[in-house]
Amino acid sequence: MDEATRTLIDALVADARESTADLARQTGLDEAAVEEALADLEESGALRGYTAIVDWDELDREHVSAIVEVNVELDRETDYDDVAHRIAESSAVDSLRLMSGDYDFAVNVSGSSMGDVSRFVSEEVAPLPAVTKTVTHYVMETYKERGMTFTDGDDDDRLSVTP
Amino acid sequence: MSGDRRTDGGTEQAPDAEAGADGGRGSRFAPADRVASVPPSGIREFFEVAEKRDDVISLGVGEPDFTAPWPARSAAVDSLERGRTSYTANRGTVELRRAIAERVTRYGQSYDPDEEILVTTGASEAVDLAFRAFVNPGDTVALPTPTYVSYEPGVRFAGGDPLPVHTHHEDDWALTPESLYDAGVDEADVLVLCYPNNPTGATMDADEMDAVADFCREHDLLVIADEIYAALTYDGDHESVATRPGMRERTVVINGFSKAYAMTGLRLGYAMGPPEAVAAMTKVHQYTMLSAPTTAQHAALAALDRCDDDVEQMRREYDRRRRYVVSRLREVGLDVSEPGGAFYAFPRVADVAPDGDARAFATELLDAEGVAAVPGTAFGEGGEGHIRISYATGLDDLKEAMARLERFLAES
């Protein structure tokens, strides 16, 4: 990966809404080259999408999220991918990862109530034949999400002019 | 104690040693002549104006907007918990000096940690030590201008005579043998080099450095090379004058942890040079500081050991901002040289400023749009007609500041 592409990705990770013009300014590419690089990254699957980071506490809307640990027992007809595809079908799933350690899958789930999350676990995950155990951890507070800290952001206490 | 005591005051400022006020009308504490001769810092003066407003986006900050990497902070905390609160050796801990010696090999520099490295309380102390150790009263110290605000006062405090060497926007702020001859540096005693440069962001390439080194050898100059921004070099490798043939023996290299490791408040720097140079500086150091802060030395050792990735991440982020800022400045019609290092851009505002006055421009920009940029004149007469813009601030603020600057220029 060349330096400009790396910078392009850094910029998008920091702010997916960057305009093409601003991306061009930060990378030193022209706008057409930025468009082309983005198309290549999307085409290859390296860039899977552009999404928002939301602090739900700031919105007048109920929002519950949880991390569900899932243990499975595989057989000759079922592998991890099979289980993963089945779980990932649910719109409640924000992310799904196969893990090393004490459990097999970590599932980030969200819904508008604890009932939504509970229903997802009890009706869509637990009944799967391969699933042997689930442990649900409700998120109580979010402090950082995908690199973005959930503070007021006004913590620059430097002098306004220094040498 | 010498000369006439100033008794007129002549200022509304409160007594303030840092600002250079005279300490009180008719006071016994009227400063010594060499102190009184130094004007208040142009930065400090501007800072006081900027501080009165609460809606300011500051592009005047000469320090990283990152926090020191955690391993460095953790090492500092650990050193306190273990009760490591005593002095260290005057020259700094052996472990840190060894780590520094190993680190600077990446710039082609080789120094013996036992005799050729001195750990100081910030690179600022190292600069002051160099002036006090090697400048005799009446010696001429050549200072390429525009340059860092503390050199000229430091020279005066040491009793030397600063000699400005003008570098120019049109030449991308290059320092050449011709500019050195034109300024009379062939007759000078000391030359100060600051590359990557504060405030212009200029760097020197290998050929430029070779030419300046030739000049210094030919005219038997002692060189003080402030390389505090060496790790923040974006295009090409950092070039050090001390690596040129015959230069190591006439050069004191200064570096530190403030800029690359975002450790400004920990105040840790170092000086490197031949044994006799470091011995002289150590003599001054031991009678003033004794040793650099022990806690900070532990943090610095951890920084060298475990924070390369953090530094690279910060460097990449500055680089991204650099490209953005330079691009936007050019779009809004300001001419700016491409900064190759540090985290400053130094655009020309002479054509759009009232009477070409950078200070008036900066003041009006602050008044009208709440954007604080430092007038180039704060960095010596060579900075007239320019402002310094620091991109050690988040991209969102940089975008807003550039939008305000664009509006300001459109309406003025």
Which ipTM did the prediction report? 0.84
Residue B50: the pLDDT is 78
On whether both B221 and B342 belong to a single domain, the answer is no
Identify whether B198 is part of a domain.
yes
Q: Which residues of A touch B150 (CB under 8 A)?
A: 163
Amino acid at B169: H
Token pair of B82 as six digits:
């273990």
Number of Cβ within 10 Å of residue B352's Cβ equals 15
Mean pLDDT calculated for residue range B398-407: 98
Q: Which residues of A touch B43 (CB under 8 A)?
A: 161-163
DSSP B25-86: TT-TTPPPHHHHTSPPPHHHHHHHHHHT-SSPEE-B--S-SSPPPHHHHHHHHHHHHTT--S
Identify whether B56 is part of a domain.
yes
Which of B186-190, B243-247, B376-380 is the least confident region? Answer: B376-380
Say which of B62, B327, B399 has its CB closest to residue A162: B62
Between CA B45 and CA B124, with CA B43 as vertex, the angle to 5 degrees is 130
Mean pLDDT calculated for residue range B138-153: 96
Token pair of B23 as six digits:
């300490």
Rounded-to-integer distance, Cα B403 and Cα B405, Å = 5
Q: Which of B306, B341, B367 is the last residue of a domain?
A: B306
Residue B412: the pLDDT is 82
Residue B183: the pLDDT is 98
**Do the Cβ atoms of A158 and B320 come within 8 Å?**
no
- C-beta of residue B254 within 8 angstroms of C-beta of residue B225: yes
Question: What is the total count of domains within chain B?
Answer: 2
Mean pLDDT calculated for residue range B235-240: 95
More confident position, B363 or B50: B363
Identify whether B91 is part of a domain.
yes
Q: For residues A104, A106, A107 and A112, what is the CA-based torsion angle, rounded to 10 degrees?
A: 130
On whether both B375 and B392 belong to a single domain, the answer is yes
Rounded-to-integer distance, Cα B115 and Cα B387, Å = 41
* Closest CA relative to residue B113, chosen from B97, B95, B126: B97
Nearest CA in chain B to A17: B396
**Beta-carbon contacts of residue B387 (< 8 Å; ≥ 6 apart):** B346, B347, B349, B358, B361, B362, B365, B373, B374, B375, B376
Rounded-to-integer distance, Cα A142 and Cα B292, Å = 40
Question: What is the CATH number for B373?
Answer: 3.90.1150.10
* Closest CA relative to residue B75, chosen from B353, B298, B304: B298
On whether both B60 and B185 belong to a single domain, the answer is no
On whether both B225 and B251 belong to a single domain, the answer is yes
B82: pLDDT strictly greater than 80: yes
DSSP three-state, residue B192:
strand
Q: Which of B306, B337, B370 is the last residue of a domain?
A: B306
Question: What is the CATH number for B283?
Answer: 3.40.640.10
Which of B16-25, B33-42, B351-360, B401-410 is the least confident region? Answer: B16-25
Q: How confident is the model at residue B25 (pLDDT cuts 50, 70, 90)?
A: low
- Phi and psi angles of residue B102, each rounded to the nearest 5 degrees, phi first: -70, -45
On whether both B79 and B218 belong to a single domain, the answer is yes
Between CA B382 and CA B389, with CA B385 as vertex, the angle to 5 degrees is 90
Identify whether B1 is part of a domain.
no
Identify whether B357 is part of a domain.
yes
**Do the Cβ atoms of B61 and A27 come within 8 Å?**
no
Number of Cβ within 10 Å of residue A50's Cβ equals 12
Average pLDDT, chain B: 92
On whether both B240 and B202 belong to a single domain, the answer is yes
- C-beta of residue A116 within 8 angstroms of C-beta of residue A95: no
Amino acid at B156: R
Say which of A6, A22, A161 has its CB closest to residue B61: A161
How confident is the model over A105-150, as pLDDT tens digits?
999 999 999 999 999 999 999 999 999 999 999 999 999 999 888 8
On whether both B147 and B75 belong to a single domain, the answer is yes
Token pair of B405 as six digits:
């600057």
The range of the structural domain enclosing residue B46 comes to 10-68+309-411
How confident is the model over A3-39, as pLDDT tens digits?
899 999 999 999 999 999 999 999 999 999 999 999 9
DSSP three-state, residue B269:
strand
B1: pLDDT strictly greater than 60: no
Q: Which of B254, B278, B306 is the last residue of a domain?
A: B306
**Do the Cβ atoms of A160 and B372 come within 8 Å?**
yes
On whether both B59 and B147 belong to a single domain, the answer is no
Rounded-to-integer distance, Cα B259 and Cα B274, Å = 25
Identify whether B282 is part of a domain.
yes
Residue in the structure block whose two tokens are 């243990």: A71
Task: Give the rounded distance of the alpha carbon of B393 from its chain centre.
Answer: 18
Q: How confident is the model at residue A153 (pLDDT cuts 50, 70, 90)?
A: low
On whether both B369 and B395 belong to a single domain, the answer is yes
Identify whether B394 is part of a domain.
yes
Which of B28-42, B179-193, B298-312 is the least confident region? Answer: B28-42
Token pair of B55 as six digits:
């809606």
Site from A148, A149, A161, A162 to mutate, B interface, most B CB atoms within 10 angstroms = A161
Identify whether B5 is part of a domain.
no
Rounded-to-integer distance, Cα A54 and Cα B27, Å = 61
Nearest CA in chain B to A4: B320
**Do the Cβ atoms of B61 and A162 come within 8 Å?**
yes
* Closest CA relative to residue B380, chosen from B156, B210, B138: B156
Report the gap between the CA of A8 and the closest CA in chain B (Å). 9
Rounded-to-integer distance, Cα B308 and Cα A13, Å = 22
On whether both B260 and B381 belong to a single domain, the answer is no
Number of Cβ within 10 Å of residue B347's Cβ equals 25
Q: Is the dihedral of CA B396, A51, A10, A21 positive or negative?
A: negative
Residue in the structure block whose two tokens are 């040793």: B291
* Closest CA relative to residue A8, chosen from B389, B218, B319: B319
B221: pLDDT strictly greater than 90: yes
On whether both B169 and B95 belong to a single domain, the answer is yes
How confident is the model over A46-83, as pLDDT tens digits?
999 999 999 998 998 899 999 999 999 999 999 999 99
B→A contacts (Cβ < 8 Å), by residue, are 41, 43-44, 46-47, 50-51, 56, 58, 60-63, 65, 148-150, 198, 316-317, 319-321, 323-324, 327-328, 372, 374, 393, 395-396, 399
Token pair of B202 as six digits:
């200029």
On whether both B322 and B302 belong to a single domain, the answer is no
